[in-house]
Amino acid sequence: MKRVLKRLLSMIPVLLGVMLLIFIMLRIIPGDPVSILLGEHYSQDTIDRLTKAMNLDKPLMQQFFSYVLGVLHGDLGVSYIMKRPVTDIILQAFPHTVKLAVMAALFAWVIGLLTGIVAAVTQNRPPDRIFMTLSLAGVSVPIFMVALALQYFLAFKVKLFPLTSDGSLKSMILPAIALGWNSAGSIARMTRSSLIEVMQSDYIDTARAKGLRRGAVIFGHALKNAMLPVITMMALQLSSMMSGAVITESVFSIPGIGRLATDAVQNRDMPLLQGTILFTTVIVILGNLLADFLYAVLDPRIRREA
Amino acid sequence: MKIRSLLTTIMVSVLTAAAAVSVPADEGKVLKLAWSKDIQTMDVHRTTDNYAVPLSIFDRLLEVERKEDGSSELVNSIAKEYTVSEDGLTYSFTLRDDVYFSDGTQLTAEDVEATFTRMFALKDSVQTDFTTCIKGAQDLLDGKADKLAGLTVKDATHFDITLEEPFAGFLSVLATPTCCIMSKKNLEEAGDDFGMVPEKTIGSGPYMVKEWKTNDSLTLVRNPHSWKEPGNTPDEVVYKVYPEAASMNMAFQNGDIDILDCDFIDSSIVQSVYQTQYADKMVAVNRLGTYYITMNTQVKPMDDVRVRKALQMAINRQGILDAVFGGNGVLVDGIYPAGSIGYTEDNQGWLKYDPEGAKKLLAEAGYENGFELELAADSSASANRAAILQVFEQNLQEIGVKAHIENYDESGWLAKRKSGEMSSFTSPWTLDYNDPSNIIDTFFGSAESTKGRSINYEDTDVMARVAAARAITDEKERMAEYAALEKKIVEEDAAWIPLFSLQHQYVLSDRIEHFVPHWAGYSDFNVYGVTMK
């Protein structure tokens, strides 16, 4: 408990650092929200007036502190471009991202674990070779290609799924596969190597010598230990998926967090970008925390050290 | 027994479900449209490019009507008549008395006053470019007044607008999205929710917003109180956001989109798929816009008119038009877009593709070995714009100029452009209102505007003449002056490189009966101009 609290407290400097970093970076790169708002229309008077109306003429430090002060009160500010509270915008987008991330993670875990285990037990035999080649494709083919290929073949040519997201679960299947593809590949590879390593340890020989059947050895003894690194990876993958998937969201028209963030960068929409990054930072930190927690649950040695 | 009853239940429910599927519900006429990105607001005072929704949910005093032959004319809308005083300063309007907002309240002169006042009083209003000619607008902008001096309400349906000085294009300005008429009551009640929350964004146009899901979709339904006859116009309109061009393309072929805007689709796909397989479903309209390339006179050696002339001669405009846009457009040698008021064919021949001549001019100017030149590209703009710069880069290399393309993201590109330090870029300008002043004022009307577009044109006399031309009340004289100015700027001073006016292409689904595009060829149009089968 104390450990968890300590970890949660350590989030504060990280978040402050992230805020400061984004704040400074957005000021260093050229471009400003006023030029975006005005687009092709230009007049110095209008630019000056807008800069003032958006408080962009205040000294940087003042802008930063008033922002941090707002955040401490739970106020993430109002989007420069969308003129709505950032919190509202994020909370509207987040459920779409969660749905996508959870489905993608489930896909990646089920496929990744199954192929990984099969590959490990058939080490160096044909099923292993086939699955490992496939998983290599999983790791190396870019999401963009997977997404477009799935969309073209399974939604456009053979009309099995909707082309783009309409909010239904069915329309999230292709995006979930596209997003989970890479993760499935890495989980499969990690499970295989970890399981093979564990299978060579002494206690497995002992179990075998006791007369246990191969299946019981693998599922009862080996897998439990082999899963430790895999679970960490799974938790980290889930939290990174939760923080938005720009490409998948674009191809399948999903109104999630990833697109908010890219739009915010393009529009130099400071409050929105700060808000999405803060939000996703919290999610990634929580994901790490969860991984540690699971680790401790699965491995008593870690609990004792703590 | 139990199992049997369970089976029966399942059978019945399956059959009911099947029956429900096989009878199509009568949804009315639903028009499905596509955007490549979501709008940012429905409040027209806070945007310079999200016009699709305002065009359909608000009315304007006057409208521009596009005729079948492609020409357009100014027609009365909620202003049923008007008179202009002899000095060209005072416009007296009479409103229709049957115009109602979607909340059922009547539109009166008070709403017109509230709209124009807000345009200048709203701190972050961006719609002040064309309307500051109204008397007292500047005082409102500066916070020195809280009433617009140039707008006098006489009674519920009569009001006058007075200008600071005569401006021939003013009536056309009233027909732009800038001048959408809002409801006074709604503006007061909604505050900052106006333009953001559908039920708090009330207009008198033929449609109203039912739902807006950020980055996903926006739905319009009929305004039951509209004074316009519904006819065969759509009962409901759904705009869906497709950020990925490939998805949008497939969605149209899948029947999920009724009007496909070819601007959003890769031009090679438009040429290979749509112009062949969908040729009879394509509609092309003239875009009242000019594509141009700038040359910054403060970047050496473009301060030398001979060098600028050489660049004008180096570019193979027809080659670009054919290669990048499939020849869908016409070359423009002046400033005003083909088909607009002020456009003339007398200027044809001012620009001629002549690389040898260009080399000679460069040598004359002392640059026989060429020079380095940065062409700035906006990476968020369409692939076609990048292609224009690629051909230009090649053309320049052929005359020995070492040109290279530098990519910026949109915001960085705009910022550098407005700093006055960008060497050269390409962009289109599409008319906001049909008058030469719109484009020539924007680029050459003052030292500030020509710096803000990184042209840095130096002739202050010409700029003063551009600014003065707006107020010439004799139409013939005004057009002659605009023609003379165009000649001076493009032919004599070689201050910019006009390229072409393009056509805007759309592909229609089988469900569309008729489609009237925006008169200037914008991507945004009033959906009341669509009728469905």
Whether B254 sits inside 8 A of A54 (CB atoms) is no
Whether A30 sits inside 8 A of B48 (CB atoms) is no
Residues of chain A in contact with residue B255, where contact means CB-CB under 8 angstroms, are: none
Cβ atoms of residues B389 and B426 within 8 Å: yes
Low-confidence ranges of chain B (pLDDT < 50): 1-3, 6-25
3-state secondary structure of A80: coil
Q: What is the pLDDT of residue B3?
A: 47
Q: What is the pLDDT of residue B12?
A: 45
Q: What is the pLDDT of residue A241?
A: 86
Question: Is the pLDDT assigned to residue A305 strictly greater than 70?
Answer: no
Question: Is the pLDDT assigned to residue A274 strictly greater than 60?
Answer: yes
Question: Which among A38, A45, A255 has the least Cβ separation from residue B213?
Answer: A255
Question: Which among A33, A45, A250 has the least Cβ separation from residue B243?
Answer: A250
Helix axes A86-121, A223-242, angle to 10 degrees: 150
Question: Which among A30, A84, A253 has the least Cβ separation from residue B241?
Answer: A253
Cβ atoms of residues B207 and B61 within 8 Å: no
Looking at domain B44-193, does it have CATH number 3.90.76.10?
A: yes
Kindly provide the residue ranges of all beta strands, DSSP E only, lying in B356-398, ordered along the sequence: 372-378
Whether B214 sits inside 8 A of A39 (CB atoms) is no
Tell me the C-alpha distance between B424 and B499, whole Å.
Answer: 14
Q: Which fold has domain A91-305?
A: MetI-like fold (1.10.3720)
Which residue has better confidence, A148 or A167? A148
CATH class in words for B30-42+202-285+506-532: alpha beta
Q: What is the pLDDT of residue A216?
A: 85
Q: What is the DSSP string of A275-292?
A: HHHHHHHHHHHHHHHHHH
Tell me the C-alpha distance between B167 and B164, whole Å.
Answer: 9
CA distances from B508 to A47, A96, B31, B409, B468 (A): 40, 31, 11, 32, 44
- For tokens 């869906």, name the residue: B240
- Which residue spans of chain A are classified as CATH 1.10.3720.10? 91-305
Strand partners, B372: B402
Whether A251 sits inside 8 A of B246 (CB atoms) is yes
Lookup: tokens for B470: 């707006």
Q: What is the pLDDT of residue B199?
A: 93
Please count the residues of chain B: 533
Instruction: Compute the mean pLDDT over every residue in chain A, rounded to the nearest whole number.
Output: 86
Strand arrangement, sheet containing B424-430 = B402-408, B372-378, B424-430, B289-294, B496-498
**Whole-structure pTM value:** 0.88
Tell me the C-alpha distance between A157 and A256, whole Å.
Answer: 26
CA distances from A101 to A230, A248, A273, A274 (A): 18, 11, 20, 22
Torsion angle, CA of B397/B402/B405/B411, rounded to 10 degrees?
Answer: -130
Give the CATH architecture of domain B289-502.
Roll (3.10)
Tell me the C-alpha distance between A226 and A174, whole Å.
Answer: 30
Torsion angle, CA of B524/A39/A255/A109, rounded to 10 degrees?
Answer: 130
- Chain A interface mutation, best of B200, B217, B250, B433, highest count of A Cβ atoms under 10 Å: B250
Q: What is the pLDDT of residue B7?
A: 45
Tell me the C-alpha distance between B218 and B240, whole Å.
Answer: 7
Per-residue pLDDT of B334-366, as tens digits, reads 999 988 888 988 888 899 999 999 999 999 999
Whether A250 sits inside 8 A of B409 (CB atoms) is no
Which residue has better confidence, A135 or B477? B477
pLDDT-derived band at A51, boundaries 50, 70, 90: confident
Lookup: tokens for A306: 């703590």
pLDDT-derived band at A58, boundaries 50, 70, 90: confident
User: What is the number of other CB atoms lying within 10 angstroms of the CB of residue B100?
Assistant: 16
Tell me the C-alpha distance between A207 and A214, whole Å.
Answer: 9
Question: Which among B214, B414, B453 has the least Cβ separation from residue A35?
Answer: B414
- Chain A interface mutation, best of B44, B49, B411, highest count of A Cβ atoms under 10 Å: B411
Q: What is the pLDDT of residue B17?
A: 43
Q: Where are the domains of chain B?
A: 30-42+202-285+506-532, 44-193, 289-502
Question: Is the pLDDT assigned to residue A300 strictly greater than 80?
Answer: no
Nearest to A261 by CA among A241, A248, A279: A279
Q: What is the pLDDT of residue B26?
A: 55
Tell me the C-alpha distance between B444 and B487, whole Å.
Answer: 13
Nearest to B71 by CA among B291, B335, B340, B429: B340
The two domains B44-193 and B289-502 share their CATH topology (first three levels equal): no
Residues of chain A in contact with residue B418, where contact means CB-CB under 8 angstroms, are: 35, 42, 47
Q: What is the pLDDT of residue B151?
A: 96
Lookup: tokens for B199: 């039920």
